[in-house]
Structure 1
Amino acid sequence: MAELLLSFLIICAGLMEFGNSVGVDVTSFGAVGDGKTDDSKAFLKAWEEICGASGIQTLQIPNGKNFLLQPLVFKGPCKSTIYVEDTWIKFHGVDNLVFEGSGQIDGRGEPWWNAAKPKDDTNRPTSLAFQSCNNLQARGFTSINSPRNHISISNCIKATVQKVNMIAPDESPNTDGVDIAGSNEIHILDSHIGTGDDCVAINGGCTDIVIKNVECGPGHGLSIGSLGRNGKRETVERVRVQSCTFTRTDNGARIKTWPGGSGYVKDVVYEDITLMETKNPIVIDQYYGCGSNCQEGNSAVEISDVKFIGFRGTSAKEEAIKLECSGVKGCDGIVFDQVNIQSAAQGKETRATCKNARVMCQNTTPFVKC
């Protein structure tokens, strides 16, 4: 179960691709790529070579091979600017990293999903993790069947994930597409994410997040949170979600916070959103995780200045908009404009519910009254 198969189809490696870069081929360090041999040590040896060298370096992974790897951490800082062509692999403290290629990362996650406690994340690896990596670019590849998150970005400044496919069965637990935490200036662009959990999850400590032209489905939608669990203080601000599509997802645009937490979510805009049989198109839930026996507590994560503009499409449920806000803090400055959500069932109508929110609503179906 502690193995990851990386199946790469790399186009044009090395000097031709990156000009003055110096190429280091993992096979020259003993990697076999037959899908059976453990190539972990060879990958680490190749990494040490390029990390310690000067100039622009390229980690080359040859065409048409399947590399079997144990969980790996590629550590920085490095002397060089590094390109990785087309991870159970973590990049830590590596700045100016370019991770690209037309390859496929197969996480073989089914043994973890079917474990006795499938939602216990303690021992389930993320396929590709970037930690404390500034000025990151990740693009062009496909990640399938991750045991847990497909891509994690934590404590990074300036990262772009573009033209990436992330795929897992809709019943696979906690297989988020992109999970972002403690990071600033992160862009998720032009990608398809169909998994068993959030397409993108924005956690505490995030600012200036842009998600644009992302096709989401199946999955749990695009979530801010959950935030504030066990009384924790967490903040998220300046999030822009533009020109995205939710197809048969459990949720569309969702913000979720735990009672008793503190901090804030503010300055969030969802704009130009297409819905196709989405079960819960718009959700703000400040009672997340506590069910019917929820205790209000003495504090809550504040939610303010959130705009839903230009939504269109269908809801799989009658309740298309749900604002379940806390009696402690409530939700302030919630705006609906040019929202038209119809029922996916012929002859049915949609409705909105609202609790403890201050709302401005215009040109919206269903109309939100609070």
Structure 2
Amino acid sequence: MQKLLAAGLFMLCFAIGYSQPTFHVGDFGAIGDGHTDDSQAFLKAWKQLCEAGGTGRPTLEIPASTTFLLKPTLFRGEAGGTGRPTLEIPASTFLLKPTLFQHPILLANGMALQIAGYASVMLMVSSLKDLEQSMAEAVHFHNCNNLQITGISLVNSPKSHISINQCTGVSISRIQINSPCDSPNTDGIDISSSTNLDIQHSIIKTGDDCIAVNTGSSFINITGVACGPGHGISVGSLGEDGADDRVEEVHVRDCNFSRTQNGARIKTFRGGSGYARKISFEQITLIDSKNPIIIDQHYTNDGKRESSSAVKVSDVTYSGVQGTSAEEQAITLNCSDEIGCFNIKMKKIKISSSVPGKKTHAYCNNAHGTSTLTTPKCPLPTQT
């Protein structure tokens, strides 16, 4: 008996819009009965969509209230015309049947794609073991520039829900991601080697990071995201196995963390190199969150001794962070004894305990900068 598990919604290229030429997925042989493999029909439709010329917006229509079964599928290529190819998917359902260690949906080399609608996707696996061994993200975007994703729901991915790699100019809004708090490695959105991303007005519930910003990423704006449960919004981890990792210009604003394991987090491994800099967390609301503010330059459990090399963390601002902490230690700046963190700015911070009668405190090790109107107090000596 096959076990059906809701997984992340697929993002082909779908959008609500009126454009020409228009294709219908049924014309390419898609059955939509939830049992027949419609992968080839979608690939044929995608090929026609991308080859459509002209300056308009070629659109592929997918009927509402229909269920499509797709096996691991690569949607690849650029539009033949100058318009933005779109796929219209109103309230359809996709069943993704992954092969182990493959992406159920991989979209690569797509230019100017627009994704919108109210679709949902289910992941179909033959056993729970298949799910546990799958290393794939539900949806992976590679080298997709000027990408727009809006109004999509993703549920219970086997691993990360959305992965974005080597993309430029990505806009994500009004999406919902939902996985249990105890589901391993189910990051909401993983970002790597990408620039100019805007994520806003979304709800993310996961068993791992709601959003993780990894190496090679810059100019990432995250606004109005509700995170929880999950491990917070993280920069990193960076510097694993001595890697030279670099992240900069990450700005998180008007977000809330509800019963998360972490809130605003920066995490780097010992022995790495590179930098995490020009990062801000502003106007953040906390509800019973553990580790509301945390910089961890010792992110490893392998017992290795301290290294003279570390990813440099600098120019980090926390402003207007308020709410409650599930732990007494509400602020943790655990910076490297050899390298340290510099130009850390904390202002208008007020974090109290979610447990009546408890007080909060801060642990600030080798962190340098300024701290004003901050509770609990976190002394930050200036750099000498």
- Cα distance, 1:329 vs. partner? 1.4
* Structure 2, unpaired ranges of 5+: 90-95, 97-103
Kept in 2: contact 1:195–1:219 (CA 8 A): yes
1:345 to 1:205, Cα distance in 2 relative to 1, 3 A:
same
2:296 aligned to which of 265, 285, 307: 285
Which amino acid counterpart does residue 72 of structure 2 have in structure 1? P
- Cα distance, 1:165 vs. partner? 0.3
Match of 1:79 in 2: 80
Kept in 1: contact 2:8–2:123 (CA 8 A): no
Kept in 2: contact 1:7–1:64 (CA 8 A): no
- Cα distance, 1:7 vs. partner? 10
1:336 to 1:7, Cα distance in 2 relative to 1, 3 A:
closer
Match of 2:179 in 1: 168
- Cα distance, 1:6 vs. partner? 8.6
2:129 aligned to which of 83, 102, 115: 115
Can you list the C-alpha shifts for 1:40-83, whole angstroms capped at 9, x where unaligned? 11111111111112132112211001111111111012214311
Cα separation, 2, equivalents of 1:345 and 1:197:
24
Q: Does the alignment pair 1:230 with 2:241?
A: yes
Identity percentage over the alignment?
A: 42
Q: Does the alignment pair 1:64 with 2:80?
A: no
Cα separation, 2, equivalents of 1:345 and 1:250:
16
Which amino acid counterpart does residue 72 of structure 1 have in structure 2? T
Cα separation, 1, equivalents of 2:324 and 2:5:
39
Which amino acid counterpart does residue 26 of structure 2 have in structure 1? T
1:92 aligned to which of 96, 104, 108: 108
Which amino acid counterpart does residue 117 of structure 2 have in structure 1? G
1:262 to 1:58, Cα distance in 2 relative to 1, 3 A:
same
SS at match of 2:129: coil
Can you list the C-alpha shifts for 1:226-276, whole angstroms capped at 9, x where unaligned? 001011001000111000000000000000000010000010110000000
- Cα distance, 1:349 vs. partner? 0.3
Cα separation, 2, equivalents of 1:179 and 1:348:
35
1:281 to 1:340, Cα distance in 2 relative to 1, 3 A:
same
Which amino acid counterpart does residue 71 of structure 2 have in structure 1? Q
Match of 1:127 in 2: 138
2:221 aligned to which of 210, 228, 237: 210
- Cα distance, 1:149 vs. partner? 1.1
1:107 to 1:155, Cα distance in 2 relative to 1, 3 A:
same
Q: What TM-score do the two structures reach when normalised by structure 1?
A: 0.92
Cα separation, 1, equivalents of 2:154 and 2:20:
26
Match of 2:99 in 1: none
Cα separation, 1, equivalents of 2:147 and 2:236:
23
Correspondence 1:260-299 to 2 at 5 A: 260-290=271-301, 293-299=303-309
Cα separation, 1, equivalents of 2:247 and 2:125:
30
Can you list the C-alpha shifts for 1:192-229, whole angstroms capped at 9, x where unaligned? 00011100000000110000000001110000000010
Correspondence 1:95-106 to 2 at 5 A: 95-106=111-122
Kept in 2: contact 1:268–1:306 (CA 8 A): yes
Q: Does the alignment pair 1:49 with 2:48?
A: yes
Cα separation, 2, equivalents of 1:298 and 1:272:
35
Q: Does the alignment pair 1:152 with 2:163?
A: yes
SS at match of 1:115: helix
Can you list the C-alpha shifts for 1:289-330, whole angstroms capped at 9, x where unaligned? 235x23212310000010000011000000000011112211
* Structure 1, unpaired ranges of 5+: none
Correspondence 1:243-322 to 2 at 5 A: 243-290=254-301, 293-322=303-332
Match of 2:93 in 1: none
1:117 to 1:146, Cα distance in 2 relative to 1, 3 A:
closer
SS at match of 2:47: helix
Kept in 2: contact 1:110–1:145 (CA 8 A): no
SS at match of 1:48: helix
Which amino acid counterpart does residue 102 of structure 1 have in structure 2? Y
1:162 to 1:349, Cα distance in 2 relative to 1, 3 A:
same
- Cα distance, 1:109 vs. partner? 7.5
Can you list the C-alpha shifts for 1:335-365, whole angstroms capped at 9, x where unaligned? 1100000000000000000111113111011
Cα separation, 1, equivalents of 2:42 and 2:156:
22
Match of 1:351 in 2: 361
Kept in 1: contact 2:8–2:139 (CA 8 A): no
Kept in 2: contact 1:109–1:146 (CA 8 A): no
Kept in 1: contact 2:7–2:158 (CA 8 A): no
Cα separation, 2, equivalents of 1:70 and 1:48:
17
Cα separation, 2, equivalents of 1:226 and 1:108:
30
